[in-house]
Structure 1
């Protein structure tokens, strides 16, 4: 078969492009490879630039140090996994490190300095208007990679770390929350949204719940391996318990509390987002509401009803009280009592 392959950059990721005249047999074989994709923009089939694929397609590394970089990235992935970093953190750090090393494919890792990171910061992140959080992820990934895999320190303090944007959490009124929660007649959809708001859950925490995590005798819900691998308990509202009992009778969940089309498999996060989106359309709320807005609203409404900030911190699973204190800036309870001097004119 006549084909050739080369390393390419596609969507900020290093891939191996495979060029050949149209061949049904070769396309069929490519499709069987892990993460093989067709690029409509580049008009080419491409596969991950893993060490195995580099050898499979007989790519001879040029002075770009590509093979070495791939090996180092895989070592970093293995190290993160061995330290039990969450799957999402591993993915975030690996993608962040890849984008940095791709920027310096012509330069050996051993020669990379603080100055190179500053150049990358200005010429790639700022130039492309990437977010502050993305910039911090890059810095964190680089720092950890060099201190563990490369066994040398990068002086992070010398790198321009951006100031975090001090944006306030988005909060809905109780009336808006009620509209959203009442929007669905579908029992499963209604129960999922109600549970997120009534307990201040993250999306992932809801979807990971299992039937035995509901303790109806003690009126609590146990959240296992929540963010930061910390278990916590949250109070179970009597109204939610009634709704859950109705849900159990109708849907009879087996392994996960909320399951998708496949029995025993958790409901998909994307599908849950669509459930919320449909509710917003039904009640004609045009705000860009996300599932996390319900969690923010839960915390703010607790604060406005007089719940101590320390308890709210425990309920939300925040490690630092500073994280929880942000809700004091969006609570309107005290602000609404302030009289404007304009009224005295």
Structure 2
């Protein structure tokens, strides 16, 4: 089955899925096969339903509670996509996946207030922490977009930041304000003698990984006492704040790089915001 899993991973890459999906979905399928203890041609809907029940009861390693609805959905979706791929490429005759997956409730939690955002900025002790806030909050970038950002993706003169390969291989241009532009300029000047093209780098002056980026952010959270917040919550927060300050939902959609307006509309449910 290793060849089929590898081929499935290549299929996800070809279709333009983000690195998280490309790396995790094949692993989720492998976890299922280990659970089922059966060869792929003999897998049936009973195995899949049993695994769904197992996931819904499985405790989370980090939170101590059961796995989140969204995480269970992601694992089952990975299995569904893989069996769909195997059927399409004639590796199996029929697709055993019969579950009707419902997307988890669109719910945005842990939105930071503008005062909390300012507290985070006030506690930055190194440049990297401030750059992470600028990228994920000020520019609304996803973590994968931030770590993929290169120095030449920022045009200081025109005050623009270019995302050249966002989610779904989408490109977008983000205007940056005067404060962020000035800080970016200072940060870039501090790295003018380095050959590394990445904007964010680690201690070895190589491209910073997503885990290292999150570690910098966690250190900042400890200093402020703010809890239960991830880097993605910064993106949720800037979307909410922009809508609160009367930016149109279409403009926020373009700012975040959403494909569908319905995705952006999640944020209009927060603080009883009215649809624009």
TM-score after normalising by structure 2: 0.84
Q: Select 1:292's aligned residue among 229, 232, 239.
A: 232
- Aligned-partner SS, 2:164: strand
Q: Select 1:262's aligned residue among 204, 212, 215.
A: 204
Q: Select 1:326's aligned residue among 239, 244, 266.
A: 266
Structure 2: segments with no counterpart, 5+ residues: 59-65
> 1:255-275: CA deviations, max 9, x gaps?
111211223x21232232222
When residues 147 and 185 of structure 1 are mapped into structure 2, their CA distance, relative to the original with a 3 A threshold, is closer
Deviation at 1:235, TM superposition (A): 0.7
Tell me the residue number matched to 2:73: 136
Tell me the residue number matched to 2:28: 96
When residues 70 and 187 of structure 1 are mapped into structure 2, their CA distance, relative to the original with a 3 A threshold, is closer
> 1:133-159: CA deviations, max 9, x gaps?
233233322233223232444264x31
Counterparts of 1:213 and 1:307, CA distance in 2? 25
Tell me the residue number matched to 2:44: 113
Tell me the residue number matched to 1:22: none
- Please tell me whether Structure 1 or Structure 2 has the larger radius of gyration of its CA atoms: 1
| 1:181 and 1:194 in contact (8 A); partners too | no
| 2:129 and 2:220 in contact (8 A); partners too | no
> 1:45-85: CA deviations, max 9, x gaps?
xxxxxxxxxxxxxxxxxxxxxxxx34433443344445554
| 2:16 and 2:169 in contact (8 A); partners too | no
Q: Select 2:148's aligned residue among 203, 208, 211.
A: 208
Does 143-152 or 298-307 show the bigger shift?
A: 143-152
Tell me the residue number matched to 1:302: 242
- Aligned-partner SS, 1:168: coil
Does 163-172 or 292-301 show the bigger shift?
A: 163-172
| 1:169 and 1:327 in contact (8 A); partners too | no
Tell me the residue number matched to 1:342: none
Counterparts of 2:10 and 2:148, CA distance in 1? 25
When residues 130 and 172 of structure 1 are mapped into structure 2, their CA distance, relative to the original with a 3 A threshold, is closer
| 2:200 and 2:208 in contact (8 A); partners too | yes
In the alignment, does 2:191 pair up with 1:251? yes
TM-score after normalising by structure 1: 0.68
Give the RMSD, CA atoms, in angstroms: 2.4
> 1:114-140: CA deviations, max 9, x gaps?
233222222x22232433223323332
Ranked by relative contact order (alpha carbons within 8 Å, sequence separation 6 or more), the top structure is 2
When residues 204 and 118 of structure 1 are mapped into structure 2, their CA distance, relative to the original with a 3 A threshold, is same
Structure 1: segments with no counterpart, 5+ residues: 1-68, 335-345
Runs of 4+ with >6 A deviation: none
- Aligned-partner SS, 1:234: strand
| 1:210 and 1:257 in contact (8 A); partners too | yes
